[in-house]
Amino acid sequence: MSLISPWRADFPALDALQRQGQTYLDSAATAQKPQALIDAMAHYYANGAANVHRAQHLPGAMATQAFEDTRRKAGEWLNAGDSGHVVFTHGTTSALNLLAYGLEHLFEAGDEIVISALEHHANLLPWQQLAKRRQARLVVLPLTTQGVIDLDAAATLISSRTRLLAVGQLSNVLGTWQPVAQLIALARAQGALTVIDGAQGVVHGRHDVQAMHCDFYVFSGHKLYGPDGVGVLFGRHQALAQLRHWQFGGEMVLQAGYLDATFRPAPLGFEAGTPPISAVIGLGATFDYLNDVNQTAVAEHEARLHDLLCAGLLLREGVRLLGDPSVALASFVIEGVHNADLAHLLTEQGIAVRAGHHCAIPLISSLGLAGAIRVSLGLYNDSEDLAHFFNALDQALELLR
């Protein structure tokens, strides 16, 4: 079956990569960028860069306007309404670290922080370190064999000792959606705060933070076809009110003396220093671009890519898929074939996939593996990309077996 992407031409890098003999199948690590983003960032730099919020002059006012427009668009993307604020961070990792420091004062010895067995290091290590600092306990929710957080286990492990639940919406290794709504309900019933790592989930479909009822939802611009260096932290008003300032400097201050200072509330209170202005402007253009594409058509295209990818992998002898992927993101190992050797042969043939532990060492180790190969597709991929991949895979397997 031939599957063409109507959006491919919007992403100039795809052609450039093709000219370099590269087939890009690593969008879950970072996605390629639409021309609209490149134009918006170039326009900002070519027409007058200026700092935001503090400047009185016209370039400053224009930069501030574009910057604040993106904040509005990010809120709309998540259907935040007036339930909370969007804080700009440098990415998912910096948002999660902000939370782990900003909420630290709420934890006492013996309190529990609940995560799951599939978390990316970005949603594990900040909580692990917080637990160590406060003598709190990290509780790890187990997975079912399909690679989904086990809700029965969660119902017993989330308890009155739980102060915070932090889970990924979509696994970056297994490609599986997680039952975040049910987990949030369990945590809320115990009065715990809830944090959703939307780094992967935000890329696939639209999500509604009001319907989800999470306290915080975080993601990175660069995986959502936006620029790197910028991330979004959505927080509900009541949750943000509990967050302490953690980085100090310009922009976030209300009044400052030599011995004391007062600080702004969210969002600006959590955006100390000059923010990534051009990246925020680029992210705004990305939201415009994504709002213009037909989301239903994208979902259908990605569903077909998913089917082609999974069916093609399972056709090959000895392939073991990790979990049961819900999106066009699949990690696999092949019986009798060393992961690193296969990755090397794929790379030599211009196939850009990811190999290794995918920043989830505990998960990969718990599966008894040293690593896996991950193929992850974006809206610009097509069946020809997959044909290149499967050709290269077959040739590599011929050499290795």
Tell me which residues are annotated as active site.
359
Contact flag: residue 134 with ligand PLP (CB under 6 A): no
- Contact between 92 and ligand PLP (CB under 6 A)? yes
3-state DSSP call for residue 234? strand
Helical pair 277-292 and 58-77, crossing angle rounded to 10 deg: 50
Instruction: Output the six-digit token pair for 24.
Output: 């890009």
* Contact window for ligand PLP (CB under 6 A) among 57-65, 143-151, 193-201, 329-337: 193-201
379: DSSP letter? T
- Binding residue for ligand PLP, selected from 5, 70, 93, 286, defined by CB under 6 A: 93
Q: How far is the CB of 345 from ligand PLP (least distance, A)?
A: 24
Q: How far apart are CA 77 and CA 71, in angstroms?
A: 10
- Tell me the closest approach of the beta carbon of residue 229 to ligand PLP, in angstroms: 9
- Encoding tokens for residue 90? 């440098």
| Minimum CB distance to ligand PLP smaller for 120 or for 245 | 120
Least gap, CB of 30 to ligand PLP (angstroms): 8
Bridge partners for 331 per DSSP: 374
- Across 110-149, b (16+ Cβ under 10 Å) vs e yields ebbbbbbbbbbbbbbbbbeebbeebebbbbbbebeeebbb
Neighbours of 109 (CB within 10 A): 8
Using an 8 Å Cβ cutoff, are 335 and 320 in contact? yes
Interface with ligand PLP includes 178 (CB under 6 A)?
Answer: no
According to CB under 6 A, which residues from 348 to 367 bind ligand PLP? 359
Containing 285, the helix (H) or strand (E) segment is helix 277-292
- C-alpha distances out from residue 228 to 41, 52, 235, Å: 12, 19, 21
26 binds ligand PLP (CB under 6 A): no
For residue 374, state whether it binds ligand PLP (rule: CB under 6 A). Answer: no
16 is written with which tokens? 């450039």
Contacts to ligand PLP from residues 379-398, by CB under 6 A: none
Select from 84, 101, 49, 122 the least CA-distant residue to 274.
Answer: 49
Stretch that binds ligand PLP, among 70-78, 90-98, 107-115, 315-323 (CB under 6 A): 90-98
Contact flag: residue 27 with ligand PLP (CB under 6 A) = no
Distance CA 334, CA 313 (A): 10
| Among 116, 200, 286, 381, interactor with ligand PLP by CB under 6 A | 200
Does 227 interact with ligand PLP (rule: CB under 6 A)?
no
- From candidates 23, 116, 123, 178, binder to ligand PLP by CB under 6 A: 123
Spatial separation of the C-alpha atoms in residues 59 and 65, rounded to whole Å: 10
Establish if 172 lies at the interface with ligand PLP (CB under 6 A): yes
Q: Least distance in Å: CB of 129 to ligand PLP? A: 16
> How near is the Cβ of 170 to ligand PLP at its closest, in Å?
7
Write down the least CB distance from residue 246 to ligand PLP, Å. 17
Q: Which of 34, 75, 84, 91 binds ligand PLP (CB under 6 A)?
A: 91
Is 51 or 247 the residue whose CB approaches ligand PLP more closely?
247
Q: How far is the CB of 173 from ligand PLP (least distance, A)?
A: 8
Determine, following the binding rule CB under 6 A, whether residue 168 of this chain makes contact with ligand PLP: yes
* 286 lies in the site for ligand PLP, by CB under 6 A: no
Residues contacting 32, CB < 8 A, separation 6+: 11, 13, 14, 17, 24, 225, 378, 380
* CB-nearer residue toward ligand PLP: 173 or 386: 173
Note the residues at the interface with ligand PLP (CB under 6 A).
91-93, 120, 122-123, 168, 172, 197, 199-200, 220, 359
